[in-house]
Amino acid sequence: MAYLFTSESVSEGHPDKIADQISDALIDNFLAFDADSKVACETLVTTGQVVLAGEVKSKTYLDVQQIARDVIKKIGYTKSEYMFEANSCGVLSAIHEQSQDINQGVDRLTKEEQGAGDQGMMFGYATNETEDYMPLALNLSHKLLQELAALRREDKEITYLRPDAKSQVTLEYDDDNKPVKIKSIVISTQHDDFADEPTMLAKIKQDILNILIPRILEKNPQYAYLFNDEIEYHINPTGKFVIGGPHGDAGLTGRKIIVDTYGGKGAHGGGAFSGKDPSKVDRSAAYATRHIAKNLVAAGVADEILVQVSYAIGVAKPMGIYINTYGTKKVDLKDGEIAKKVEEIFDMRPYFIEQRLKLRNPIYSETAAYGHMGRKPETVTKTFTSPNGEQKTMEVELFTWEKLDYVEKVKEAFGL
């Protein structure tokens, strides 16, 4: 039976995403100067105020206030009328040392015996409905906001945009579980105040339809078949969106976990990613299960795969690995038998996940907006500066869990 499916995304200027980006900038700076840092930091943003809290075990010292301000400035909160501005907002730090009770369960005599930083279950998902093996509705939702942010930064074709924005895409699927068209698109974007409200709303709708959507189609021609004249567009449906960002809504680290992952497809274990170093399996194992799912789908094991792994705090070996192929498998094995093979191919102990995916590097700021999954793996050079003026320049690999580097191993193991 045909059905509808919806996913949403939020921009880098959304309050919760500001919080995520600050928390991950702290992670990157700690890891740049001390790769063994253990960090769990949360951020709260509200009108004119940033509050940092959490636990850290590290040999380095950071100017956390300046790091937070740099992130806010980069996002685009640089005007006093936003009521949240990089140079003038207050930054309060309540970060303290990590509990030794937790640390003793993670650090062991040998690194290979490193225990999981917490209990819990983590999920990874992949589908072949897009070229990056991500759910299509979420993929489109991200792209809409990434392009909107590009237009805001260019400040040429659309000059009134402010940083906060949300998108939502509803797709229609056919009886064969294939997307056939877009049913509706919702875009709410913060904007400068207009003297004439009806004119303002008409102008925003016109610019979204005549500037943003054509740019999306130009850069993503593979999705042209989904667009049609019958799409329901809901653009700034409240009619006005001047008050936004942390002044409109308080933001907290870790409140956009579905935007960060698969847009409601597959499953989620409940643990957020941002602000956590890779000893926290909420983050590292979620990346590892995505890596597994993507490589299995790319190798042809199934069209759609969900992978679950679970841990006990302080214990290295996972409690179990679960696979669901949703009836799309291409191999003559039950899902439980596929899980057994996965266990043989991928070592899911925390230390080995960190090594395989190179997670002890400062690679996390780039994950904190527009999704942690489905992104392009690439090598970049990053420079960090400590409070005493020491500079550290590093070449790091981003989004290593998106690499298709295990496809041949999977094919060999499954006889494909």
Query: Residue 55, annotated ligand binder?
Result: yes
Cα–Cα dist 339/115, whole Å: 22
- Catalytic residue chosen out of the listed positions 17, 162, 191, 291: 17
- Crossing angle (nearest 10°) for helices 15-33 and 64-75: 130
Query: Residue 166, annotated ligand binder?
Result: yes
- Catalytic residue chosen out of the listed positions 152, 265, 276, 349: 276
- Catalytic residue chosen out of the listed positions 8, 24, 42, 366: 42
Q: Where are the beta strands (DSSP E) in 271-387?
A: 304-311, 320-324, 378-385
Q: Known catalytic residue: 255? A: yes
Query: Residue 249, annotated ligand binder?
Result: yes
Q: Known catalytic residue: 16? A: yes
Q: Known catalytic residue: 36? A: no
Q: Known catalytic residue: 250? A: yes
331: phi then psi, degrees, rounded to nearest 5:
-115, 155
- Catalytic residue chosen out of the listed positions 35, 53, 250, 298: 250
Q: Known catalytic residue: 247? A: no
Query: Residue 298, annotated ligand binder?
Result: no
Query: Residue 194, annotated ligand binder?
Result: no
Q: Known catalytic residue: 280? A: yes
- Catalytic residue chosen out of the listed positions 57, 142, 143, 166: 166
207: phi then psi, degrees, rounded to nearest 5:
-70, -35
- Catalytic residue chosen out of the listed positions 5, 84, 241, 273: 241
Burial of 391 (0-12, 13-18, 19+ CB in 10 A): exposed
Helix (H, G, I), strand (E, B) or coil at 48: coil
- Catalytic residue chosen out of the listed positions 249, 343, 347, 397: 249
Query: Residue 38, annotated ligand binder?
Result: no
- Catalytic residue chosen out of the listed positions 8, 16, 277, 366: 16
Query: Residue 101, annotated ligand binder?
Result: no
Q: In this structure, what token pair is assigned to residue 228?
A: 């049609």
Query: Residue 273, annotated ligand binder?
Result: no
Number of helical (H) and strand (E) elements in the chain, helices listed first? 12, 13
Binding annotation for K(+): 42
Q: Which residues are annotated as a binding site for ATP?
A: 14, 164-166, 240-241, 249, 255-256, 272, 276
What residues act catalytically? 14, 16-17, 42, 55, 166, 241, 249-250, 255-256, 276, 280, 282
List the binding residues.
Answer: 14, 16, 42, 55, 98, 164-166, 240-241, 249, 255-256, 272, 276, 280
Residues comprising the binding site for L-methionine?
A: 55, 98, 249, 280
